[in-house]
Structure 1
Amino acid sequence: MTDHPTATKTTGLDAEAVIAYLRQHPTFFAEHDELLLEQQIPHQRGDSVSLVERQLKLLRDRNIEMRHRLSQLMDVARDNDRLFDKTRRLILDLLDANSLEEVVIAVEDSLRQDFQVPFVSLILFSDSATPVGRWVASSEAQVAIGGLMGSGKVVSGSLRDHELAFLFGEAQRKEVASCAVATLDYQGLHGVLAIGSHDPQHYKSSIGSLFLSHIAEVLARTIPRFTQTLRSVR
């Protein structure tokens, strides 16, 4: 109970100090007019609201909305910067690779560790078996995921069970709630690079598809250099 008079007195002193300062500096708001948008200054006649006050409220609300939009854009820009840096490092590792084994290891390790992607699948299509990476017959791939490869663009979202089983294996099929699939198609090389998430919303749209497309394009141009000199995967 004894705290209320003290609080009132302190508040009164603070208000009086502000009033005294403004009286000594009558041009304060003219020199700092941006503060007017943050003040609640009624301009009423009876129960009506003046046009000036209404305009100020609209400007204040618009200012708050623009700040929120700017904050969202800054968040997106920071995320894109991080994705770009990770993609750049992976592409440099692919360019420095000296064998197909190093290419496969570089892309899978980067996506799992750097990009924090829980499910990664790189599948190359060929009618002859090779000891490096995962290769399947073109006819088998066409039957399983032919509908995903027609457009040549990254496909994002939820896939059918048999498509998930082909891409990630029967054991992981039920764990992949959403994924993105990029086609590899360059000078006779065909395949897919797929990434998956436990979150059904993570790849619901085209999130990250631009970067996945860049990685797939570099892969498609890197792999043919080593298809004639294969070594066993570690």
Structure 2
Amino acid sequence: MTNEAKKATTPVVDDSLIASYLEENPDFFERHPALLQQMSLRHSQRGAVSLVERQQQVLRDRIRLMEEEITDLMTTARRNEELFRYYSELYVKLLGCRSLDEVMDSLQQTFAEQLNMPALSLKFFDSPLDLDEQFTFAADTHKQLLSKRFADGPVYLGRLTGDEQRLLFPAESIASVALLLLGDKGELGMLAIGNQDAGHFEPAMDTLLVRQLQALLSMILPPLLAHHDTA
């Protein structure tokens, strides 16, 4: 092929230059309306369509996507509002509790009945009190759990090993948990909340509500334990 032939087949401008020009001159087709009548785009379902029709379809698709995103945001907002109400009602009930059994009943009512999480465990560490078996660990079985799950803080969200699950929920099939250390320094005990959904509790989740629950239980439980000891 001669140099003249090569030059003849080489485009003067490429697609990127045309695209850049149109981006910088969005009124181009307004100044050249006759071009719109000659242009068509391929559509996977409808064949050839006009540029205006294609623009309208793109806009409709964007609007539909935005509507779906807004619906998802509204659903999340309603769920968050519902969670906040349940936790707020729980805080009020806990402040009125006069025994450990009442604390457990209040927790069970919220998590089992309202939040559909029946797996709940409240345990105290190294307590000399004559507590029911449901509130105590057998020997030092919890110490490995403490060193492994609370290295980064007093709240753990995520999954457990089989041994850890049997330690906290021997009769439940649990896929993810929220573990809260109780007490000023986590010395009092632990609240464990289990869910059958592996993705329900994840490390990246916001911990505001569970930390508020943690702080409230750390405040109300020591007097109840002291009263239990003298009863």
CA change 1:196–1:206 in 2 (3 A) is farther
Structure 1 residue 47, shift from structure 2 partner: 3.1
Partner of 2:105: 105
Contact 2:159 2:177 in 1 (8 A): yes
What does residue range 134-213 of structure 1 map to in structure 2 within 5 Å? 134-136=135-137, 139-169=140-170, 171-172=171-172, 175-186=173-184, 189-204=187-202, 206=204, 209-213=207-211
Distance in 2, Cα, partners of 1:177 & 1:205: 14
**Percent identical residues:** 29
Could you tell me which of 40, 43, 56 is aligned with 1:47? 40
Which sections of structure 2, spanning at least 5 residues, go unmatched? Answer: 1-35, 42-48
Query: What SS does structure 2 have at the residue aligned with 1:90?
Result: helix
Which sections of structure 1, spanning at least 5 residues, go unmatched? Answer: 1-42
Query: What SS does structure 2 have at the residue aligned with 1:74?
Result: helix
Structure 1 residue 209, shift from structure 2 partner: 4.5
Partner of 1:224: 222
Distance in 2, Cα, partners of 1:159 & 1:138: 20
Distance in 2, Cα, partners of 1:211 & 1:194: 14
CA change 1:231–1:101 in 2 (3 A) is farther
Is 201-210 or 157-166 further displaced after alignment? 201-210
Structure 1 residue 188, shift from structure 2 partner: 6.8
Distance in 2, Cα, partners of 1:91 & 1:56: 52
Distance in 2, Cα, partners of 1:94 & 1:47: 68
Distance in 2, Cα, partners of 1:188 & 1:63: 50
Is 44-53 or 146-155 further displaced after alignment? 44-53
CA change 1:108–1:231 in 2 (3 A) is farther
Deviations 1:178-203 (A, max 9, x none): 22222223267422211222233333
Distance in 2, Cα, partners of 1:210 & 1:56: 44
CA change 1:97–1:218 in 2 (3 A) is same
Contact 1:145 1:163 in 2 (8 A): no
Deviations 1:112-146 (A, max 9, x none): 22222121111121242332551338954222342
Structure 1 residue 164, shift from structure 2 partner: 0.9
AA aligned opposite 1:68? E
Contact 2:157 2:202 in 1 (8 A): yes
| TM-score, reference length from structure 1 | 0.67
Structure 1 residue 204, shift from structure 2 partner: 4.5
Provide the aligned C-alpha RMSD in A. Answer: 3.0
| TM-score, reference length from structure 2 | 0.68
Distance in 1, Cα, partners of 2:139 & 2:60: 61
Higher relative contact order (CA 8 A, sep 6+): 1
Partner of 1:10: none
Contact 1:126 1:137 in 2 (8 A): no
Contact 1:125 1:138 in 2 (8 A): no
Contact 1:86 1:114 in 2 (8 A): yes
* Paired positions, count: 188
- The answer as to 2:80 corresponding to 1:80 is yes
- The answer as to 2:119 corresponding to 1:126 is no
Deviations 1:25-56 (A, max 9, x none): xxxxxxxxxxxxxxxxxx65253566655544
Distance in 2, Cα, partners of 1:120 & 1:139: 20
